[in-house]
Copies of this chain bind each other. A is one copy, B any other.
Amino acid sequence: MIPNVLAERYASKAIANIWSAEGRIILEREFWIAVMKAQQDLGLDIPQQAIDDYEKVKEQVNLKSIMDRERITRHDVKSRIDEFCDLAGHQHIHKGMTSRDLTENVEQLQVYRSLLIIRDKTVAALTAMSKRSQQWRDLVITGRTHNVAAQPTTFGKRIAMNGEELADSLTSLEALISSYKVRGLKGAVGTQMDQLSLFDGDGARAADLEERVCKHLGIPNVFTNVGQVYPRSLDLRTVSALLDLASAPSSFCTTLRLMAGHETASEGFAPGQTGSSAMPHKMNSRSCERVNGFQTILKGYHTMASGLAGDQWNEGDVSCSVVRRVMLPDAFYAIDGLFETYLTIFNQMDAYPAVIEAENAHYLPFLMTTTIMMEAVKTGVGRESAHKAIKENAVATVAALRTREISHNDLIERLANDDRVPLSLSQLEEIMENNKASTGTATQQVDQFVKHVTAVGEKYPAGAAYQPGDIL
């Protein structure tokens, strides 16, 4: 058998179990039994013996037998009805139901449970980011924009920057979870005609039945107007939320790959690990690269989801069927694998203060140019004139460093000698000395992030306590 590579190599058991073929069939059978029980309670003539007999066999899952039936009926649900009925020796399930009364609700249950797991792992990721941002709260690094040295910041703040992004994605995920609606028992075109006719037109009992069934599922909201299927924009919203969640980890891992190139930080290297089968010295950012890969994968599943939304014909068709069989589980495996990997990175990553310090020293005069410009402006010189003068000297300094014409950054001296900048060498040196660790509000920002994550962790303690499994 060809395994699902995302499920087998990357996703955790918790997610894989929800979506396994056997697990799903049991969910379906439990759903049928819940419907039968409610129908019996509400007065339909369903013998208790039948219910008991169905209960007895519900975990006897024979995938091959079901598949053999499907080869004839070419209808997956009909095959599973027939299998379950033959096992139990009754024909009492699926009354007043259409296939989608079963499959939509069960698939939504799979989605909903998966969303709760992913929410907890997001909380775990935030917790891990919070810890690391505290640890390196004050570690001054060379902030870079356009990949070029810009101004000082701290490594803790760099993490918190990505952390706040992830926290916002969590807010968005929470909104999805709390508004998530299940389709309910709506019948073939959404009018509940068959449930009504089972109950001889008694709308109250049909409504009661649906309510009991939703309670069985544990999803708080239910649609009113649907067709054969629930609107696929809900699937789109779901996969969008997963793609959203992947953004902050992906940006952070990209940055960690960049830092590894400068040897200022790394994702760590486990004992026994091999970096390259050819080059024994290699310590690659393979887990970070993998996180980036998962984000790319999620974009693909998002494309699939967006191919379904807005494409419903009349009361529904099944051009979505094969797509959802692939997209829904695989998107969850991918985001789950992403978080397992990301959490492992945070457990093992490292920063190299000595290398960081050397880099800071090399760029310090450049990092101070806005401060020097501000000070120059305070003396009365025009902002744009000061900008021009500093730029010319900075560009010359860069050029001299790159040719090794000079070996240390002498921008300060150059500025002191430029009449357009009304600051003496000693003033400039003082600016340098006073501001070399000038990271503005970086540390306070970290503190706010930590505080926010603490609150999130109190709301979702299981998430905050979660630790990843071993990854490949």
Instruction: Decide if A322 touches B10 in the complex (CB within 8 Å).
Output: yes
Q: For residue A249, which residues in chain B have a CB less than 8 angstroms away from its CB? A: 310
- The verdict on A454 contacting chain B, using a C-beta distance below 8 Å, is no
Query: A-B pairs with the 5 shortest C-beta distances?
Result: A250-B310, A281-B394, A191-B440, A98-B278, A143-B189
Instruction: Decide if A147 touches B248 in the complex (CB within 8 Å).
Output: no
- The verdict on A30 contacting chain B, using a C-beta distance below 8 Å, is no
8 Å CB interface, A1-22 against B? 1-10, 16, 19-21
Please judge, given known A-B contacts A150-B188, A312-B251, whether A278 and B97 are in contact too, CB under 8 Å.
yes
Distance A70 CA – B21 CA, assembled complex (angstroms): 27
Q: For residue A330, which residues in chain B have a CB less than 8 angstroms away from its CB? A: 326
**Min distance, Cβ A205 to any Cβ of chain B, angstroms:** 12
Distance A92 CA – B251 CA, assembled complex (angstroms): 36
8 Å CB interface, A77-122 against B? 77-78, 81-82, 85, 91-92, 94-99, 101
Please judge, given known A-B contacts A146-B284, A161-B315, A247-B231, whether A296 and B278 are in contact too, CB under 8 Å.
no
Can you list 17 contacts pairing A with B, beta carbon distance less than 8 Å?
A3-B3, A70-B472, A92-B383, A147-B261, A148-B282, A148-B285, A164-B226, A164-B231, A169-B233, A193-B371, A197-B435, A237-B244, A250-B309, A277-B387, A283-B395, A285-B317, A355-B402
- Which residue in chain B gives the minimum CB-CB distance to A141? B314
Q: For residue A169, which residues in chain B have a CB less than 8 angstroms away from its CB? A: 233
- The verdict on A455 contacting chain B, using a C-beta distance below 8 Å, is no
Instruction: Decide if A251 touches B310 in the complex (CB within 8 Å).
Output: yes
Q: For residue A260, which residues in chain B have a CB less than 8 angstroms away from its CB? A: 146-148
Give the interface centre of A8, A99, A153, A310 by most chain B CB atoms within 10 Å. Answer: A310
Q: For residue A181, which residues in chain B have a CB less than 8 angstroms away from its CB? A: 168
- Which residue in chain B gives the minimum CB-CB distance to A309? B247
Please judge, given known A-B contacts A224-B164, A304-B299, whether A193 and B438 are in contact too, CB under 8 Å.
yes
- The verdict on A212 contacting chain B, using a C-beta distance below 8 Å, is no
8 Å CB interface, A362-404 against B? 366, 369-371, 373-375, 377, 382-391, 394-395, 397-398, 401-404
Q: For residue A371, which residues in chain B have a CB less than 8 angstroms away from its CB? A: 193-194, 197
Instruction: Decide if A297 touches B323 in the complex (CB within 8 Å).
Output: yes
**Min distance, Cβ A362 to any Cβ of chain B, angstroms:** 10
Contact for A442 among B16, B191, B240, B327, CB less than 8 A: B191
Instruction: Decide if B403 touches A227 in the complex (CB within 8 Å).
Output: no
Stretch at the interface among A53-61, A267-275, A422-430, A459-467: A267-275
Instruction: Decide if A191 touches B143 in the complex (CB within 8 Å).
Output: yes
Contact for A146 among B203, B232, B285, CB less than 8 A: B285
- Which residue in chain B gives the minimum CB-CB distance to A74? B273
Q: For residue A198, which residues in chain B have a CB less than 8 angstroms away from its CB? A: 374
Contact for A144 among B72, B224, B313, CB less than 8 A: B313
Q: For residue A366, which residues in chain B have a CB less than 8 angstroms away from its CB? A: 279, 281
Instruction: Decide if A73 touches B273 in the complex (CB within 8 Å).
Output: yes
Q: For residue A276, which residues in chain B have a CB less than 8 angstroms away from its CB? A: 75, 98-99, 145, 150, 188
8 Å CB interface, A408-455 against B? 411, 435, 438-442, 444-446, 448-449
Instruction: Decide if A319 touches B98 in the complex (CB within 8 Å).
Output: no
Instruction: Decide if B313 touches A147 in the complex (CB within 8 Å).
Output: yes
Instruction: Decide if B251 touches A311 in the complex (CB within 8 Å).
Output: yes
**Min distance, Cβ A313 to any Cβ of chain B, angstroms:** 5
- Which residue in chain B gives the minimum CB-CB distance to A20? B2
Distance A302 CA – B472 CA, assembled complex (angstroms): 26
Beyond the given pairs A75-B275, A145-B188, A188-B279, 9 more chain A to chain B contacts, judged by CB atoms under 8 angstroms and listed by A's residue number, are: A3-B3, A74-B286, A151-B187, A168-B179, A254-B310, A286-B321, A294-B322, A297-B323, A326-B330
